[in-house]
Amino acid sequence: MEKKLFLPVFAMVAVLLVGTAFASSSCQTFSTPNIKVIGTVWGNSTHQISAAPGQRDVPLTVTLESYDTNCEFENMVGSLQTYGGITDFQGSSASTTYLQSIQPPSIFTMTFYLDIASNISVGQNTTLTFPLILQWDSLNGTINSKQQINIGVPMHGAANLTFSALNPDITAGKITNITLEVKNTGSGLASGIGTAISGSSGTGVSLLSQPQQIENLAPNRTANVTFKAYVSPQQAGNSQSGASIILDLVTHYINPYGYNTSMDSQLGLFASTPSSSSLLVSVANQSLLAGKIVKTNITLTNTGADPITNVSAVLTPESPLSIIGSDNLNTVYEILPGKSAGLPVELYVQSSTSAVATLDIALTYTLDNQQNTASRSISFTNPGYVNATIVSTTISPSSPSKGSIFSITSTLDNIGASPATAASVTPFPPAGIKILGSNTSFLGTIPIDTPTAFTVSFTADPGIAAGAYAIPVRLSYLNNLNEIQNQTFHYTVNIGSSSGIQVANGGSGTTRIKGGGGGLLIAGIVVIIVIAGAGVYFYRKRSGKKGHAK
């Protein structure tokens, strides 16, 4: 009778153990969503940026919450389905990212690098809706869990503020009200615009007031603000030379996405001693770019009450500035009171070792039947032109395996017209690939036409899927105006399948064999065999004891 009872009990225990093993790993598709979107920002959770038409490789970070408490997600793939001029950096309408493991309940992020077409529509209330398709493995290895979530992507554009003085000539020894024109040349709204102006060291300029705050400035709109400045006569010199004045501007504003933003810029003025001359000299564009031809107008304005005749202007650029296609001599027959005459000129800066380029103007004219001479100097800010290009790239090993270490060595050449200083590179590897060592590598100065190499190393997670992965690397540097500039390069690495069975910690001190849905089935069969063996052993031992007793 004991023999009849033992076998059914053993069978029930085995079935319960196997059933428990499979029940604990049951992660099937749920009838209600178990993942929800918390937020979407351009940039990342710690550094938000403005996204605007024509930008490339812009990170979009989606924050999600998994609030199911019974199921661990593995090998989660997020595919963002885009449209309407937004693609991934390779031009595809689907941008994909990968996460190895998610332990619910938890909050996690997915970042997609997107290109934005230059003709896309933006606005303060414009939001695009894209479907995000999530697919993952459950613990039993079946790839049948899938969920689609609609996310809202804001497209508010980016603000770009420029500053110019409408009356850049200052008479030394007198307080001058200067009108500053602020223009938004970007595609998004700027608000709460406040600008603080200060004179560079040794300029002899005193700022007696600051510009008013601008409440809102829409794209392609301008606003005028004023400030008072005073230049000492000693700083300006005599009327034959005068002095160029550079003012530093620090501007704070709220960008179209509601984030506080700051920017540095410079403003050029000209200071002269009091003179009977009524000929005002100004320039339409006071910013040049080394290596690029800039067309501008030098404007001569008669601010007096009598006509000015026989005006000649000799333009003399100071190195590295030069004039294109001109004999440097310009003449104007007559300028009536309150009227202006324009002298078109094409300027070119060959290199940008200096942050300021200067154009000297020698004037000769007739006023009240008397010949007069005067000189002016116009200062142009000269941001350096840096253009880094990839010369060569080596990936070692060329096809790294899962769980291995690999490195990317790339050589860059600066084919621009200005050296890049304080240069550094920062990789942004996708999920499953980690940077080995420091996140940022410092390169120092990248001279003109001098190849400069860098090496970054990574580790590929053992659980990463085999395939091609794009690794963006951002190059950051300072130009000659100490402005931060960025370029991004894309490197592609092919991750191959690793050899052998990969064993990873499964949590709570357990060990789990990865690579398919049969892992737990094998574990269950092993449990049955062990219990069956133990049952036979104890059964025979007990039968033997009974026979001995007889």
E strands, 306-419, where? 308-317, 321-323, 329-335, 340-349, 356-367, 370-381, 388-396, 405-414
Give the list of residues 6+ apart from residue 281 with CB closer than 8 angstroms, or none.
Answer: 169, 270, 298, 299, 300, 301, 361, 363, 376, 378
Give the list of residues 6+ apart from residue 132 with CB closer than 8 angstroms, or none.
Answer: 37, 62, 78, 79, 80, 81, 110, 148, 149, 150, 151
Q: List, for residues 34-77, the tens digit of each pLDDT value.
A: 788 999 999 887 788 899 999 988 999 999 988 765 667 778 88
Q: Stretch 256-272: mean pLDDT, rounded?
A: 89
For residue 434, the one-letter residue type is: K
Number of residues in the chain = 550
Q: What is the mean pLDDT of the chain?
A: 79
Is residue 245 predicted with pLDDT exceeding 70? Answer: yes
Residue of 510 and 246 predicted with greater confidence: 246
Is residue 481 predicted with pLDDT exceeding 50? Answer: yes
Is residue 537 predicted with pLDDT exceeding 90? Answer: no
pLDDT score of 520: 39
pLDDT score of 274: 55
pLDDT score of 277: 53
pLDDT score of 174: 75
Is residue 162 predicted with pLDDT exceeding 60? Answer: yes
CA-CA-CA-CA dihedral for 364, 366, 371, 375, to nearest 10: -30
If phi > 0 it is left, if psi is from -120 to 50 it is alpha, else beta; for residue 210 that is beta
pLDDT score of 514: 34
Is residue 451 predicted with pLDDT exceeding 70? Answer: yes
Contact 115, 57 (CB under 8 A): yes
Q: List, for residues 79-106, the tens digit of each pLDDT value.
A: 999 988 999 877 888 888 888 777 777 8
Lowest mean pLDDT among 168-177, 277-286, 315-324, 465-474: 277-286
Lowest mean pLDDT among 119-128, 195-204, 388-397: 195-204
pLDDT score of 139: 58
DSSP state of 200: P
Bridge partners, residue 444, by sequence: 423
Give the pLDDT band of residue 377 (cuts 50, 70, 90): confident
DSSP state of 287: B
Residue whose C-alpha is closest to residue 447's, from 413, 492, 410: 413
Q: Residue 280 CA to chain centroid, in angstroms?
A: 42
Q: What angle do CA 262, 263, 264 make, to 5 degrees?
A: 140
Is residue 32 predicted with pLDDT exceeding 70? Answer: no
pLDDT score of 353: 58
Q: Stretch 434-447: mean pLDDT, rounded?
A: 91
pLDDT score of 458: 96
Q: Which structural domains are found in the chain, ordered by start? A: 28-154 (2.60.40.10), 158-275 (2.60.40.10), 292-383 (2.60.40.10), 388-495 (2.60.40.2410)
Residue of 191 and 366 predicted with greater confidence: 191
Is residue 409 predicted with pLDDT exceeding 90? Answer: yes
Q: Which residues of 36-50 are buried (b: 16+ CB within 10 A; e: fewer)?
A: eeeebbbbeeeebbb
Q: Rg of the Cα trace of the chain? A: 36
Is residue 460 predicted with pLDDT exceeding 50? Answer: yes
Q: Stretch 256-267: mean pLDDT, rounded?
A: 92
From residue 432, how far is each of 197, 297, 426, 435, 463 by CA, in Å? 48, 55, 17, 10, 8
Give the pLDDT band of residue 415 (cuts 50, 70, 90): confident
